[in-house]
Amino acid sequence: MVRRHTSAYTARWGSDPYTDCWPWAEAMMRWWQAEGMPGGYMAVEPGEGEADLVPAALAETLRLSMARQPHRLLAELDMDMTARELGYWVKRDSMYPRPGTPGWPAPDGPHQAVWRQVFAGGDEERCRRLQLESLFLLESLAQYTAQDPPRRAAAARYRLRNHTIIYTHVADTAPVLGIRGPVYVSDPLAYQGVGIEDLRATDPASPVS
């Protein structure tokens, strides 16, 4: 699943999916650690230096979510589903592949070393702590983003009417995180009024230049 998605994604976008998840992961971590935000405390007691590794876990849960939902663009992932994805893979005695194996391959690109440190370093307890930290972060971000109903009302009505969904997408967090884009989505009307600075429409099945 992951290998197949990686090959298709790289052929389309010209980059590794894990690499493209990192700007979102880093922005999420900055939001989490900002003054007055939930990251003022650590939801899970970290080991020494582990806070710096949380973006690796965030980027990986985004990458794995894309592999599970290949019909969705990165920006269109369901935040609640994404928050839980990594937990399935790192669960003790999980039926999922182990990191670094063909079923759960390491990514290519500039962040491969930190991925291997987190997921293929042999410290399963640390891996689970980072997964839980990313879970709490993503759940908090989704809740925070959804707390502005007037701003999101038009988009929510459109999504419900046309797609029978109203869940919070990764793209919805862009204004909260300060992501200026480009943010690629398949239906820009589903984000009307949300406040994304550089929203771009693209067919999920078509190459992007």
What kind and span of H or E run contains 56?
Answer: helix 54-68
> Are residues 81 and 139 in contact, defined by beta-carbon separation less than 8 angstroms?
no
Given a cut of 50, the residues of the chain with pLDDT beneath it are: 209
What pLDDT shows up at residue 93? 80
pTM: 0.92
Q: Coil, strand, or helix at residue 164?
A: coil
**Cα separation of 117 and 14, whole Å?**
25
User: 185 phi and psi, to 5 degrees?
Assistant: -135, 160
What pLDDT shows up at residue 148? 77
What pLDDT shows up at residue 121? 86
In SS3 terms, 132-159 reads as HHHHHHHHHHHHHHCCCHHHHHHHHHHH
What pLDDT shows up at residue 209? 45
Percent of the chain with pLDDT over 70: 91
